[in-house]
Amino acid sequence: MIIKIHPDNPQPKAVDAAASILRDGGVIIYPTDTVYALGCDIFHARAIERIYKYRGIEPGKAHLSFICSSMSQLSEFAKVDNDTFKLMKRLLPGPYTFILNRSNRLPKLFRERNTVGIRIPDNLIARTLIESLGNPILSASLHEPEEEIEEEYLTDPELIDEKFANQVDAIIDGGIGGIIPSTIIDCTDNTPVIIRQGKGKTDL
């Protein structure tokens, strides 16, 4: 199922329909400011297991991120010191993933982890969807970088639907997506460290 949402003026009914799918434990493919990604509600264990299975990864080794709508929301799930807060405030919303020390409010499914990846994408569809849902989305890229797949099947919603429709509950069509992933910045120590150069500029 494809749900078309305008990237600059998301229609409330369409956004709420997508949020309802997530709330019911569904898995979606949705746009970010970098690439189209898999997403589900962070509190739905079965939906999270579906993403693990789809990606063929072990839960303890999964590189997943919490996609948040605001700084106040992300601070519920991660510990952010003053310097990191200033850096994030300057760069977000934007194409960055911050690795942070987790807070005690992280859902039970993730309690074995010491860190959590956090994003606030510069994509109105994603942020509006999270606001409608009421909590972050767990997110994973559609494929590993080393996997060979034609670019169009990762960027064009109609072709994404053709290839992945039988594996998810909905595909959010927010226009043609990108192929460059986010820049990852590790902020778990005193000095931020760039561990993957992506779309985001790295003039820290």
Question: Over the stretch 108-136, which tens digit does the pLDDT of each residue have?
Answer: 777 777 888 999 999 999 999 999 999 99
Q: What is the pLDDT of residue 183?
A: 94
Task: Compute the distance between CA of residue 166 and CA of residue 117 in angstroms, rounded to an integer.
Answer: 28
pTM of the predicted model as reported, rounded to 2 decimal places: 0.90
Domains of the chain from N-terminus onward: 2-196 (3.90.870.10)
Q: What is the pLDDT of residue 128?
A: 95
pLDDT in tens, 176-185: 999 889 999 9
Cβ proximity of 200 and 54 under 8 Å: no
Q: 36-59 in b/e burial notation, b at 16+ Cβ within 10 A? A: bbbbbbbbbeebbebbeeebeeee
Measured from the Cβ of residue 9, the count of other Cβ atoms closer than 10 Å reads 8
CA–CA distances in Å: residue 52 to residues 56, 129, 151: 6, 22, 23
Quickly state the pLDDT bin for 87 (edges 50, 70, 90): very high
Task: Compute the distance between CA of residue 139 and CA of residue 150 in angstroms, rounded to an integer.
Answer: 21
